[in-house]
Amino acid sequence: MDKPDLDPKAQTAVYKPLTPDELGERLSVVPAIAERVGTDPASWTVREVGDGNLNLVFIVEGPKGTVIVKQALPYVRLVGDSWPLPLYRAFYENNALVRQAERDPGSVPEVYYFDEAQALIVMEYLSPHKILRRKLIDGEKVDGLGPFLGRFCARTAFRGSELSMKSADKKSDVALFAGNVEIPAITEALVFTDPYYAAEMNHHSEGLEEVVKDLRANRELKARAQRMLMKFASNTETMVHGDLHSGSIMSTDNDSRVIDPEFVQYGPLGFDIGMLVANFLMAYLSQPAHREEADLDIYQEWILSVIDETLSTFEAEFTHLWTHERTGMLYPAALFEDQGQSSADICAGVLADIRKDALAICGIEMHRRTLSLAHNADFEEISDEALKCRLEVRNLAMGTELVLRAETIGSTQMLLNLARQFNAKDIL
C-alpha cells in the first residue's frame, strides 16, 4: 500500500526498455522468472506481441514454461513520444492486479514478478486464450462469459467500496491511486469530452459529417456527458478497472480472464460495467459487416444474451454480497436488519442508481469509439466504407439515446430491445 518508491526522474534514469535480444540476459537472473521459464536464457524464445498503445509485451517461452513480460513505455505508442506517459503507471497496474485477484480470485492473470524501476510486470501466460474482441469479430462464442464478467464487475465494485472495506483502508487506497493522474486524464479527455467537439486527435469515417454535426450541437447530450465526467473524475466509490472493453478480456471457448488494468482508478460503481456493455453493443451493431446473413441473427442474439447474463449476474452477485458481506460503513445492518427491517429493496435502489450511471457511460463509450482517438476493431476492420458508416450511425444514435434516456431504461430487456431497434434502423 506504499506510494511508488521512485520519483519519476530517478526512474527515468535507470529505466531501459527491453529488446527481444537483451530480455533473456536481463530477466534470467530473476529467480521468480527463471523458475518458471528456465535458468538458461539461450533456451528461451522471446516474441514481441504489441498490445497496442502503451506498452511493450513479450511472450517468453522456455523449457520450464511460458510467461508474459509487460513493460510500460514512457509515451503513447499510437501517438509517439510527443505524448509522454509516466512509467509509474506499472506500479498502479500491479497494485490493481493484486486487488482484483483478492476480490475475484482467478479472474486476472497471476503476477509472478514486479520491477518498479523498469515498470515491468511478469505474469501468467494465458493459453489458448485470445483477445475477446477478436473472437467477437470472428463469430466465436465463449461459454460462461456473461456470468464471469458480471461476477467480476460485481465483486470488484462491491469489495472495493465502503459497502465492504473499512473506511480508513479505502481512503488510504484512494490516496494511493490518486497519484496516477495522467492515466485518468486520458479517459477524461478522450472518452468524455473529445467526442463532443472537434478535438485535435479525433477522426471518424467519411459520411458521418451530418450525424456528428448534430451530435456536437446537442447541448443536453454534452451537458449529460459532462455530468458523467464530473462523476468519473470525483466519485471514488470503488476501485475500477478503468478500461474494461473486449480488448481487455482474454477467452478460450469456455474460460475468460480480465487483463490490463493500467487505467485503474477510484471511480463510480457503474463505470466498468457500463463501458463493458458498450463494447458488447458495438460488437453487436458491427456484426452485419462480419457475418453472412445465415449466421448473423443467431450470433447477434448470442451477444445480446451475453449482455443479459452479464447484467443479471452483476445484479445477483451484488445483491448476494450486499446480504452476506456488507461489512463497511455504508448502509450498515445497524440501521436495517438489526432493527428487524429488510434492506433488499434498498439494495435494489442502489443497483438502479448504478444502472443509470452505467447506461450513460455506455452511451458515451459508444460515441468515443467512433469519434475520438482510439477506435474499435469491430468497426475499423470493416472494409466496405459505406456499410461501416451505416453501422456507425446506428451506434452513434443508440449511444445518444442511452446518454439522454439512461434513467428511463429500467430493465435489461428494454436495453436489448433498444439494441434490436437500432440494429434495424437506418437514419441516413
CB of 427 to a second copy, least distance (A): 22
327 binds a second copy (CB under 8 A): no
CB of 400 to a second copy, least distance (A): 15
How many whole angstroms separate alpha carbon 345 and alpha carbon 254? 34
C-alpha cell at 82: 510527443
In sequence order, the 6+-apart residues with CB closer than 8 A to the CB of 389 are 205, 206, 207, 208, 428
How many whole angstroms separate alpha carbon 399 and alpha carbon 139? 23
Q: What is the dihedral sign for C-alpha 184, 188, 191, 194?
A: negative
C-alpha cell at 284: 453487436
How many whole angstroms separate alpha carbon 169 and alpha carbon 109? 24
296 binds a second copy (CB under 8 A): no
Q: Which residue lies nearer to a second copy by CB, 3 or 420?
A: 3
Binding residue (CB under 8 A) for a second copy from 19, 45, 127, 234: 234
C-alpha cell at 340: 428487524
How many whole angstroms separate alpha carbon 346 and alpha carbon 331? 9
C-alpha cell at 68: 508474459
Binding string, 248-287, against a second copy, x = CB under 8 A? Answer: ------------------x---------------------
Binding residue (CB under 8 A) for a second copy from 45, 127, 172, 413: 172
204 binds a second copy (CB under 8 A): no
C-alpha cell at 29: 537472473
The DSSP result for 123-163, as a single string, is EEPP-S-EEHHHHHHHT---TTHHHHHHHHHHHHHHHTSTT
CB of 5 to a second copy, least distance (A): 15
CB of 171 to a second copy, least distance (A): 5
Binding residue (CB under 8 A) for a second copy from 346, 377, 404, 418: 346
Q: Which residue lies nearer to a second copy by CB, 83 or 302?
A: 83
Give, as ranges, the residues between 51 and 80 that touch a second copy (CB under 8 A): none
202 binds a second copy (CB under 8 A): no
Residue type at position 215: L
13 binds a second copy (CB under 8 A): no
Q: Are 109 and 53 in contact (CB under 8 A)?
A: no
324 binds a second copy (CB under 8 A): no
CB of 373 to a second copy, least distance (A): 16
How many whole angstroms separate alpha carbon 225 and alpha carbon 360? 8
C-alpha cell at 85: 506517459
Binding residue (CB under 8 A) for a second copy from 127, 226, 417, 421: 226
Binding residue (CB under 8 A) for a second copy from 98, 201, 298, 330: 330
Task: Enumerate binding residues for a second copy (CB under 8 A).
Answer: 161-162, 167-168, 171-172, 174-176, 178-179, 181-182, 184-185, 188-189, 193, 196-197, 199, 216-217, 219, 222-223, 226-227, 229-230, 233-237, 266, 329-332, 334-336, 338-339, 341, 343, 346, 349-350, 353
